[in-house]
Structure 1
Amino acid sequence: MMDDAELLLRGILLGLAVAAPVGPIGVLCIQRCLAGGFWAGFSGGIGTAVADAVYAALAAAGFAALAGVTGPVQDWLRWGGAALIAWLGWRAMTARPATQGAAAQAAVTPAMAPPLRLLVVTFLLTMSNPTTILSFAALFAALGLAAGAPLHASVAAVAGVFAGSLLWWAILSGTVSLLRQRISDESRHWINRIAGFALIAFAVALIV
């Protein structure tokens, strides 16, 4: 068994690996970050990181078997998640893009409600895929963390997953925030359309 420091480090790498692939939440956070700045996008990453940590904790606690016996529930969750993603995609496509002046003002005085709402939405979207438990169960097994592992070892690994996921979203949101002032208003308009189309495509892919 690895020591807690090594488990924490490997958990961080796992968190980065799980969060990095660009999916619907990544597209959504990029679009929101372009419109409202760092916190507007990073808040979505926080919701995803919390959900990843929840599923990682369930996997470490030995609840992976539940993912195999909740077929009807998984179907409802998948359809619900797809509907929410499609709605967000439509909103992105039809939203008026933030102008450079409005974006600069938002960076100085960010609104609290939209980031908090995005945090909740991304948490629910991530939690709508219970088979994620199986992924973490396989990853933890590779770390030697089978069910019944010492509590301190599981805590270290789960904390690492949360930190790694959060680190990825901080990097992504920070990079987009640095570039957003260089993007013209016309480009923002097309980015909104492309992001909305991508979200709707992800929603369709979930149910076919």
Structure 2
Amino acid sequence: MHPLQTLPVPALLTTVLGGVVFGLALAAPPGPMNAVIAEESVVRGWRAGFAAGLGAMVADLCFLGLALAGAVTVVQSAPLVQRAMVGVGGLLMLYFAYGAVQEANALSSVEATAGGESHGFRKAFVLALTNPYQVLFWLTVGVGLLNPGQVDVLAPLPAVGPALAGRFVVQTGHPGLLAGLFGGILIWVTGFPATIVAARRRVERLAPAVAWLSAVLLSGFGLFFLWQSV
């Protein structure tokens, strides 16, 4: 990896900012992890949603450590291991979808109040470790982020790319990029639960709807990944 002190300050800031944007782009799209975060936030409050987000982020840190240790190369060369991980991830998603259905039914039948014991961190952490999207990311893009090099972000843009070439160059394999990446993820797992909780306070009936949506998303992803594994 690039030593931190070898980059001029403007290049370092660009690399960190690129990492933040990339982290947000990685964390924000709808998927099983955000379904778990939303469910925990709307049922038990911001702390539970934030804890679930931290669980997913800690799993990413584990993948980063494994990638640095070279374990990713071993998994890449073992298709059966990859398929087994996808299958386990699918089963876990179906299991958590069943839990979301139970919570949705409970919220629909009684007046919902935030609270109750939260297992969001553990649930999100275990699910993230077998989430095929996260596994695939660290097997492919994640490895690329660790290899020293440069990415001219704006150059490939149609029409304006040539004029903007060299304006936003990110240094891959640099600690600043990884710091920005996890900083972007942290921004998302802090702000997303807060948005869900604020919306629930305005629309009280949102709680069971979010729980049902979480169940549908987790079921869909679970069935899809099980199909892929076989």
Task: Report the TM-score when normalising by structure 1.
Answer: 0.79
Count of residue pairs brought into register by the alignment: 191
Inter-partner Cα distance in structure 1 for 2:217 and 2:56: 19
Alignment of 1:53-92 (within 5 A): 53-59=61-67, 64-92=72-100
For 1:206, give the aligned amino acid. Answer: F
Structure number with higher relative contact order (C-alpha < 8 Å, ≥ 6 residues apart): 1
Task: Name which one, 1 or 2, has greater alpha-carbon Rg.
Answer: 2
Once the two structures are TM-superposed, the CA of residue 63 in structure 1 deviates from its matched residue by 5.3
Inter-partner Cα distance in structure 2 for 1:14 and 1:60: 19
Once the two structures are TM-superposed, the CA of residue 145 in structure 1 deviates from its matched residue by 2.8
For 2:141, give the aligned amino acid. Answer: S
Identity %: 23
User: Unaligned 5+ residue runs, structure 2?
Assistant: 1-5, 152-169
SS in 1 for 2:172: coil
Inter-partner Cα distance in structure 2 for 1:144 and 1:57: 20
Alignment of 1:1-208 (within 5 A): 2=7, 3-59=11-67, 64-95=72-103, 96-97=106-107, 102-103=113-114, 106=115, 113-114=117-118, 117-128=119-130, 129=132, 130-133=135-138, 134-140=140-146, 142=151, 143-146=170-173, 153-154=174-175, 156-185=176-205, 187-208=206-227
- Which one is further off, 157-166 or 34-43? 157-166
Structure (1/2) with the larger helix percentage? 1
Going from structure 1 to structure 2, the CA distance change for 1:100 and 1:10 (only over 3 Å counts) comes to farther
Once the two structures are TM-superposed, the CA of residue 171 in structure 1 deviates from its matched residue by 1.5
Inter-partner Cα distance in structure 1 for 2:182 and 2:84: 26
User: Unaligned 5+ residue runs, structure 1?
Assistant: 147-152
**Contact 2:16 / 2:179 at 8 angstroms: preserved in 1?**
yes
SS in 1 for 2:21: helix
For 2:82, give the aligned amino acid. Answer: Q
Partner of 1:150: none
Inter-partner Cα distance in structure 2 for 1:101 and 1:199: 22
Once the two structures are TM-superposed, the CA of residue 57 in structure 1 deviates from its matched residue by 4.8
